[in-house]
Structure 1
Amino acid sequence: MTDAKAIALAAAEAAEEKKAKDIVVLDMQKVSLITDYFVIATGNSTTQVQAIVKEIEKKLKEQGIPLLRREGYREARWVLLDYGSVVIHIFQPEEREFYSLERLWGDAPRVSL
């Protein structure tokens, strides 16, 4: 099993391969009991958000990392992928701005990509 930071960085890299914008990895270990890392990224359309999600799922599955839960895929406005120690959020721009997770979790340090 790969460690949480490596999973988060692999997810960020997969998102980047599908041209996701504004990819951010937050270290949640000292600010939340929910998860160790958040990965947040933006896709410009339903199709792009779904492509980013599929790429992340494919890359992490190849590493033997099981997906625990996926929500929001059909509408693809905000897709949440729960890998336990890593939670991935893929947004369309309006939803990302509205929910503003980076501001909500402003105390979480950013991991450099």
Structure 2
Amino acid sequence: MWEWLAGIEIEKLANAVVILIVGLVAGLGFKRGKDAPAQQRAGLEVATDFFDSQAIKSLTTEVTGQAIATTASAAATRQLVEAIEVHTRAVFDHKEEVQELRHEMSRRR
């Protein structure tokens, strides 16, 4: 009775179901969007009255301050990376000098 189900690839079936559902929802959305454009305008008017200009200015100031702090942090991080690179080079140079001194000492023995 269920032998035909074994021959169906589940991934293709799932994709077909998803496409069918998305198409149906999109069709209903387009239909409702054409029927009620006045409701969307009213929602936009409410949304613009929801925020006051002082809150927007305060938020803008905070975001600008955060951007400046992030930039300063990035610059400090770059300086730290450069200092680490200089220190690493100095350690390698010191290691080479120590190896040269070892060879010199071993030759003198």
| TM-score grouping bracket, smaller chain normalisation | under 0.3
Calculate the TM-score normalised by the size of structure 2.
Answer: 0.20
Given the two structures, how large is their TM-score scaled by the length of structure 1?
A: 0.19
Q: Which structure's CA Rg is the greater one?
A: 2
Higher relative contact order (CA 8 A, sep 6+): 1
